[in-house]
Structure 1
Amino acid sequence: MNFIITFVTFGIIFALIDAVWLKTSNALYKKELGSLIREKPDFVAAIIFYVIYVAGVSLFTITPVLDRSGSWLDVLLLAGMFGLVAYATYDLTNQATLKGWSKKIVVIDLVWGMAATAVSATVSYLLITNVFGV
């Protein structure tokens, strides 16, 4: 049951935070990546990413801390590292294999992935423990 509550809570919070980021950073990504950016996103691929990512963060960072009665600091650190690893996998692979992939975007994405995941997971943990009583 913890996993389902965690999945839904983190999924909503992360989606909201990431939507704000994607909206506000759109011009930067277009400027830095130019023709690599699609005019319209592939929403099927995006949904698959979000389901996998939310499941991963829920399974490997928040739920284990809930199960062992850890603290919000544990979630902050674990989720931050998870975000860094996931976003580094994407960005550094693109840097290694695609012509024109921006180093500036790599740095921005790594910081964003780490921060957005850490903050979203920590807020989720605090809601789950203080509001839902898990």
Structure 2
Amino acid sequence: MSYVIAYLATAVVFFGIDYVWLTRVAGSFYRDRLGALMADEVNFPVAGAFYAVYVVGIVIFAVSPALKSGQWQDALIYGLLFGFFAYATYDFTNLATLRDWPVVVTLVDVTWGTTVTGVSAWAGYMITRQFV
């Protein structure tokens, strides 16, 4: 049951923060730099699959270890690390393989992914521990 709570709590936090980032803060940043590469419309089933799978990773690699140790710092540190490695893999691959992929997009996106994942793992842990 604790995994279900951890998953739901982390998913709500991650999706909520990322939604605000993408729709209110950084949407024009990405559009201005990646316009020609971007699809006309978001593929919501694929985006949903990303969120569903990625949150499993956050729970396995950050929230669960923190629940075992009882230390919120573990959720934050492992979440930051998981976010860094996941987003760096995506962005560095794009930088290495796609023509005209902007370095600034890589820097901003990796920073964002690191931050949102760390905060989501921490919040997921803090919420979950209230119920288990």
TM-score in same-fold range (> 0.5)? yes
1:32 alignment counterpart: 33
Q: In structure 2, list runs of 5 or more residues that go unmatched.
A: none
Q: Which runs of 5+ in 1 are unaligned?
A: none
The answer as to whether partners of 1:95 and 1:101 remain within 8 angstroms in 2 is: yes
Amino acid at match of 2:48: I
Structure 1 residues 42-100: Cα deviation after superposition (integer angstroms, max 9, x where no partner): 1111111111100011111101221x233111110000000000001110111111011
Q: CA deviation at 1:2?
A: 1.7
Whichever residue aligns with residue 34 of structure 2, its letter is L
> Shift of residue 38 of structure 1?
1.3
Secondary structure in structure 2 of the residue aligned to 1:36: coil
Taking the aligned partners of 2:29 and 2:19, their CA distance within structure 1 comes to 15
Give TM-score, length-normalised by structure 1.
0.93
Q: Report the CA distance between 1:3 and its aligned residue.
A: 1.3
The answer to whether the Cα contact below 8 Å between 1:32 and 1:105 also exists between their aligned partners in 2 is: yes
Letter in 2 for 1:4: V
Map 1:76-115 to 2 at 5 A: 76-115=76-115
Amino acid at match of 1:18: D
Which consecutive segments of 4 or more residues in structure 1 shift more than 4 A?
A: none
Between the two proteins, the alignment pairs up a number of residues equal to 131
Task: Name 1:124's counterpart in structure 2.
Answer: 124
Q: CA RMSD in A?
A: 1.0
Task: Note the C-alpha offset of 1:33.
Answer: 1.0
Q: What is the TM-score of this pair, normalised by structure 2?
A: 0.95
Distance 2:77 2:6 in 1: 17
Check conservation: 1:2, 1:63, Cα contact below 8 A: no
